[in-house]
Amino acid sequence: MSLNIYAVRAIYRFEMARTFRTLAQSIASPVLSTSLYFVVFGAAIGSHMNSIDGVSYGAFIIPGLIMLSMLTESISNASFGIYMPKWSGTIYELLSAPVSAAEVILGYVGAAASKSLILGILMLITARFFVAYEILHPLWMLFFLTLTAITFSLFGFLIGIWADSFEKLQIIPLMIVTPLTFLGGSFYSINMLPPFWQTLSLFNPVVYLVSAFRWSFYGSADVSVGVSAAMILLFMTVCLIAIAWIFKTGYKIKN
């Protein structure tokens, strides 16, 4: 069965158009929030801290801050994108159209991941105004940036299908994802923790994201890059399997 590129393009364009209609909320707000983090943590606090692994604290937190925003935005964009058709009832028009599950996922997840990538690149540019940094492995940086955007857009897509109210749409991002991100080494190296907490941190999936992304910048990582990439790919696979099961059974979509 060939891919219906017109259907994918239509969904993708619709979702991207929604972003450009709400630039202040979709782009400007996350960039402004990250800029404040750079001012507070990078300039104010960082000036009184020693370097970490030979990197100034302001530069050290750049990968973590980008991951923090990208995780939040990827989940938010994808979950809201698929939840709105459910809420308005237009999901049935989509399901009755000659569009496969793969095409629906490509359209919604592709748009959400694109928005997150745009945001990530804007944050990299913004960081230049506050902190001097270098990227030792630019291709790997783009790889991990893209992999993170796609993986957590898939996760957000799952949340959007599962949620049956706007309150539920926010529960997992606020109560689970955000705490895990702050405890995932965004603002510190887990090697700075006591042995018990280092071991406990390894059960936090965000640690692998931040560690791999930070390695692409400075060549140092809390966890092996290979292990980090494998964990991210494993999580992506689990999300894909769950979404395939949902479309096969109609869970929270047809029922």
pLDDT over 80 (residue 52): no
Confidence of residue 147 (pLDDT cuts 50, 70, 90): very high
Three-state secondary structure readout of the chain: CCCCHHHHHHHHHHHHHHHHHCHHHHHHHHHHHHHHHHHHHHHHHHHHCCCECCECHHHHCHHHHHHHHHHHHHHHHHHHHHHHHHHHCCHHHHHHCCCCHHHHHHHHHHHHHHHHHHHHHHHHHHHCCCCCCCCCCHHHHHHHHHHHHHHHHHHHHHHHHHCCCHHHHHHHHHHHHHHHHHCCCCCCCHHHCCHHHHHHHCCCHHHHHHHHHHHHHHCCCCCCHHHHHHHHHHHHHHHHHHHHHHHHHCCCCCC
- Average pLDDT across the chain, whole number: 85
Average pLDDT value for residue range 204-232: 90
Average pLDDT value for residue range 151-157: 93
pTM of the predicted structure, to 2 decimals: 0.88
pLDDT over 90 (residue 100): no
